[in-house]
Amino acid sequence: MKVTLSVLKADIGSVGGHTLPSRRVLARVEEVAREEVGRLLQDAYVFHIGDDIILLLSHTHGVRHPSIHELAWKAFREGTQVAKEEGLYGAGQDLLKDAFTGNLHGLGPQVAEMEFEERPAEPFMVLAADKTEPGAFNLPLYLAFADPMYSSGLLLSSELRPGFRFRIMDLAQTERDSYIELDAPERLYDIAALLRDSHRFGIESIWSRRYGEIAAVVSTTRLRNIAGRYVGKDDPVAIVRTQKIFPATEEFGPPFALAPFVAGDTRGSHHLPLMPVKANTPASSFFCVPMVCGLVFSLREGRLSEPVDLFGDPVWDAVRARVVEKAQEMRRQGFYGPAMLPMEELEYTGIAERLRELEREFS
């Protein structure tokens, strides 16, 4: 059976600042989606990370289907109306356009979709991040799909040994999508040369070279490129298939346990570690440390199993404690040096205006 998974995410309002959506907002978004199960959809699941609401939709209509995107737009719009009624902060923040134009790309919400022939056993995970950039998944996915130090299946499994093809987007391009395809392991150094710069380049998708099957897809929307100003971090989502011809689910844990430094913070202005958290976790009041959650599902004839929380077992409590130490140490440096993002990442913020004003005073 050919099935499509669509993951669509938006910040449409939260309680007391950038924390979490209210119960009523979440309930309304879920109600709109669930109404279409058995009609437009095979199944649906709704959760949040921080102030972002994530829709996971299973269907048979292919990627970029107008009806699927319109359903998500309707869910987010109706959730926004509830957020406004409740006086939530940033109601409709990620809905940057007033009208639906047939596709959510370019309207503000993050979108990750893939279509594939369902295997007899089809495990996959949904990754969702808050308070960070599209390139935040670069290092964990690189390690899981290309580094045998972290992904032992690359050594032990004949299915994985031929490697994977990385499609990498140039996130600085605003006029058109610009990407390059590089094969691992032959082009490993070239892949690393690009992915090291998570502000400029991001993984768009990963493919099995042996079977030509899609393995992962990541959203790559930059909100500032749509709005022309800083309106919040981009907060990427991803779909990753696992097991058999792909790395095992458990091989994704250690790469995320590294908690790499990524763009983040409450104003999107600093480098902070990416903390693995349980799904439905509020944003941290400690400068909004960037967070990632992961839910693992099995799929059968388009129907979703109950999820397992990728970062929910006790091991992750120790990881989170170490991440907090990394975050505190970096944030103690305040505005200075590598603690803050480079100027090209701050050009849409107030500091750019301040520097232009100061230029006139130089002599």
List the catalytic residues.
Answer: 11, 230, 233
328 labeled binding residue: no
How far is Cα 110 from Cα 76, in angstroms, rounded to an integer?
12
235 labeled binding residue: yes
2 labeled binding residue: no
150 labeled binding residue: no
Q: How many residues does the chain have?
A: 363
270 labeled binding residue: no
98 labeled binding residue: no
244 labeled binding residue: yes
138 labeled binding residue: no
CA 268 remoteness from chain centre: 15
* 123 contacts 116 by C-beta, under 8 angstroms: no
18 labeled binding residue: yes
69 labeled binding residue: no
233 labeled binding residue: yes
Annotated binding-site residues read 11, 18, 51-52, 89, 93, 102-103, 130-131, 233-235, 243-244, 267, 348
Q: Which residue positions form the known binding site for dihydroxyacetone phosphate?
A: 18, 131, 267
Known binding-site positions for beta-D-fructose 1,6-bisphosphate: 18, 89, 102-103, 131, 243-244, 267, 348
Q: Which residues are known binding-site members for Mg(2+)? A: 11, 18, 51-52, 93, 130, 233-235
